[in-house]
Structure 1
Amino acid sequence: MIELPRDLPILERRAVRVVVLDHADRVLLFHTRDPDRPARGTWWELPGGGMDPGETYHDTAVRELREETGIAVTGDQVGAPTWRRRATFLHRQLRHVQDEVVVAVRLDGPGPDVDETDRLDYELEDYFGFRWWPLAEVVASSANFYPGQLPRLITPFLAGEEIDEPFELFS
């Protein structure tokens, strides 16, 4: 068991991350930063977020995609939660400890521009860009990602493998 740093109050929650693929196998990632910790630098992050009470992982994936990207999907388009992980990171004066599942959503056409209309205030500050990455570029990249093992695990995940990722201390 990894001991958590005792640096900030802890928020424990369940969360969903979404691998959104367009028809050309490009993956949507947000360019992200933590304004409270500029020294942390930037990273590329999958869309997603915490589950609200009573939500299923399907519900959360659909809601988070709409809020963060403007992309409207149905629960039927959300794949199975075959990638499971536990992670911790610092954000907005809290240490988040999350039990996450990663799901896939495949779009029929090209990846659209991101619509920020329904984003939360902090998301408008934290996400300063987005990119539809060709899958091969994600796999080959040495950029910083959240989840940190995204380049190594995305291919087996998309191939349908069950993944129980070890604990990640992201920040």
Structure 2
Amino acid sequence: MTAELGPDWVRGPDGLPYRRAARVILLDAADRVLLVRGHDAGETTRSWWFTVGGGLDAGESPHDGAVREVREETGLEVHPRDLVGPVLTRSAVFDFVRVTCRQDEEFFLARVDSARAVSDAGWTMLEREVIDELRWWELDELEDAVAAGTVVYPTTLPRLVRRVAGGWDGSVEHLDEVDR
């Protein structure tokens, strides 16, 4: 069951596949946010936009995992000192590859140069199967898309980006989300 999802998933106390994850809100100088669009391998008609990031390796800190995930998913380099936050923690229950999963995430903020090309060279086989595109979004455009029904995770992402783009105030929001 967890083998389909990847080696970073273990059975949690509630019996669901569980993992800890680090995610990064990547912003450029114009406050555009880089998002990934993916679909569910078990239900290909479902797709959504989400931030760069993923599961932590055994013994890996959220900061180190965030840096690794940015490199693997985009080819861009960030240093742990470039990460701001965590600006959000999220506990999510969701269906993926026809399995209900639980994930606890820490979200960081980092600035990158959008003129640098992104690369899929570090993608896993599962990522190659389910990731459809990476795209820079202007915040107004993202808010309009969400208002029109585009699915984005976390669901509060446009508001969160608005809050932290001008500078982080040190507060850490927590979000519980269930999407099944």
Amino acid at match of 1:160: W
Deviation at 1:68, TM superposition (A): 0.8
What is the rounded CA distance, in whole Å, between the counterparts of 2:78 and 2:173 in structure 1? 26
What SS does the corresponding residue of 2:117 show, helix, strand or coil? coil
Provide the residue aligned with 1:166 in structure 2. Answer: 175
Q: Is the 8 A contact 2:36 2:49 kept in 1?
A: yes
Provide the residue aligned with 1:50 in structure 2. Answer: 55
1:16-35 alignment runs, 5 A limit: 16-35=22-41
Identity of aligned residues (%): 35
Q: After alignment, is 138-147 or 128-137 more displaced?
A: 138-147
Runs of 4+ in 1 over 6 A off after TM superposition: none
Deviation at 1:111, TM superposition (A): 4.5
Q: After alignment, is 20-29 or 109-118 more displaced?
A: 109-118
What SS does the corresponding residue of 2:86 show, helix, strand or coil? coil
What is the rounded CA distance, in whole Å, between the counterparts of 2:144 and 2:172 in structure 1? 20
Amino acid at match of 1:10: L
Give the TM-score, by structure 1 length: 0.85
The two structures, once aligned, show a CA RMSD in angstroms of: 1.8
Provide the residue aligned with 1:124 in structure 2. Answer: 128
Number of corresponding residues: 161
Amino acid at match of 2:91: R
Amino acid at match of 1:11: P
Deviation at 1:66, TM superposition (A): 0.8
Larger strand percent: 2
Matched, 1:151 2:155: no
What is the rounded CA distance, in whole Å, between the counterparts of 2:126 and 2:115 in structure 1? 24
Amino acid at match of 1:132: W
Gaps of 5+ in 1: 1-8
Q: After alignment, is 44-53 or 88-97 more displaced?
A: 88-97
What SS does the corresponding residue of 2:85 show, helix, strand or coil? coil
Residue deviations 1:59-108 (CA, integer Å, cap 9, x gap): 0011001111111111111111121111111223432211111100101x
1:134-145 alignment runs, 5 A limit: 134-142=138-146, 143-145=150-152
What SS does the corresponding residue of 2:161 show, helix, strand or coil? helix
What is the rounded CA distance, in whole Å, between the counterparts of 1:110 and 1:130 in structure 2? 12
What is the rounded CA distance, in whole Å, between the counterparts of 2:76 and 2:115 in structure 1? 9
Gaps of 5+ in 2: 1-14
